[in-house]
Structure 1
Amino acid sequence: MENVDYFLKNSYIPIYGVTLLLSLYKYPKYFDSRLKYLPIIFFYTLLNEFLGYLINNYEEFSLISADAYHSYNWLIYNIYMLIFYLYFYYIFRFYIEDLKQKRNILYGAIFFLAVCMTNAFIDDFSKLPQVYSYITGGLVLIYCSVLYLKKFHTIDKIFTTKENLLFWLSTGLLVFYSGYLPIKAIRYVHTIHETPTPPIVKRIQFILIIVSYLCFIIGFLRMKRRLPK
């Protein structure tokens, strides 16, 4: 089991890097579409993880001067959460054609921002995870992903998905957030009761990251057509 844990722990950063490289390599296929900022999002993800590691392990990179909080890196993750969610809401709202569904996504984004403001009053945005915001935003993103994937519910449409980048992005997002939101809730409960989180939870998290990013990689490898602007 230690070998499995070592593999999982050291796999997700390389897979972030591979995804970033593929997003740059395939950029001519979607540079004029609404997905043109994907490489920035993937680079930001990789940079955020690296910075989070430095803050957590090296006191000189601390964002908070107080000794008790010098290893806290929640500020960068909370900012990342806002940017990541809002970017994909914007993407899905553009590519989903139904007007009612577009409005629902807009309402979901507004509700998410309202929860973010409320959560920031409950838990310090710079020092603590914004659990309510994260779960709310994740549920809205799951909703968006499901709406988009419903376009491919018929057999003839399924065969066209291999070249559809957003199909694979939606699948990866759906896989990750469907599995990770319960993990987020479980960790929050353990934090409240000051009990340790079972090691299997961390393993599942790494597996979800790997599977979701493999979906992204498949999307980049298979895409051939340009997406509409």
Structure 2
Amino acid sequence: MPIYGVTLLLSLYKYPRYFDSKLKYLPILFFYTLLNEFLGYLINNYEEFSLISADTYHNYNWLIYNIYMLIFYLYFYYIFRFYIENLKHKQHIVFGAIFFLAVCLVNAFIDDFSKLPQVYSYVTGGLILIYCSVLYLKKFFAIDKIFTTKENLLFWLSTGLVVFYVGYLPIKVIRYIHTIHETPTPPIVKRIQFTLIIVSYLCFIIGFLRMRRRLPE
């Protein structure tokens, strides 16, 4: 949570440099992330914060994380659809978002949305987000643009998203398999997850620190 807090503070400090762009809602998203993690901790550790009355599920916090997943993915689909210039790729993102929502609907029937992780939705949404991020990053592969990357906030956001989801989606699947077979997840998996979070948010922080004033968008 500390690195979430630092990212939120930087997003607010640098807000005058991007308040008139499509990224203007980033501070809200980072605040929501921090609040969601804090609430998830409270639900998991204190019965009085439970969202489900049944004793068996008193520490289940999947509802807030499932809602967060929907908002997080759809927000970045919207962002990338705006900033990616190729019309065909824009259409791909729209179709991807529709497919993601369809998977969410099916997944909610398979696994209770309020009590269980939506693994199929999460993996599908993550793969689409990786696709969107890579599409955006491709524009910086050209030699004449390589030196502008350090000043581009969305470049660093995209890099952080790719790093996290490429590493975390296999972890999500591994945990799901262990849950099905009722076997414990190896401790190293959690350490890898924390490392991925730190690296991805360091990318976000670098983006805020190095960004310069951009024209309204």
Report the AA paired with residue 99 of structure 2.
F
Partner of residue 121, structure 2: 133
Partner of residue 186, structure 1: 174
Report the AA paired with residue 86 of structure 1.
L
Partner of residue 16, structure 1: 4
Q: Distance in 1 between matches of 2:146 and 2:158?
A: 14
Report the AA paired with residue 66 of structure 2.
N
Report the AA paired with residue 101 of structure 2.
L
Deviation at 1:206, TM superposition (A): 0.2
Q: Secondary structure at the match of 2:102?
A: helix
Q: Distance in 2 between matches of 1:149 and 1:158?
A: 10
Partner of residue 10, structure 1: none
Q: Specify every segment of 5 or more residues in structure 2 that has no aligned partner in the other structure, as ranges.
A: none
1:173 counterpart = 2:161: yes
Partner of residue 160, structure 1: 148
Q: Distance in 2 between matches of 1:115 and 1:227?
A: 37
Deviation at 1:154, TM superposition (A): 1.5
Report the AA paired with residue 138 of structure 2.
K
RMSD (Å) for aligned C-alpha atoms: 0.6
Identity of aligned residues (%): 88
Find runs of 4+ consecutive structure 1 residues off by over 4 angstroms. Answer: none
Q: Secondary structure at the match of 2:114?
A: coil
1:209 counterpart = 2:209: no
Q: Distance in 2 between matches of 1:169 and 1:152?
A: 14
Report the AA paired with residue 25 of structure 2.
Y
TM-score normalised according to structure 2 size: 0.99
Report the AA paired with residue 109 of structure 2.
F
Partner of residue 51, structure 2: 63
Q: Specify every segment of 5 or more residues in structure 1 that has no aligned partner in the other structure, as ranges.
A: 1-12
1:122 equivalent among 105, 110, 115: 110
Deviation at 1:156, TM superposition (A): 2.1
Q: Distance in 2 between matches of 1:109 and 1:24?
A: 28
TM-score normalised according to structure 1 size: 0.94
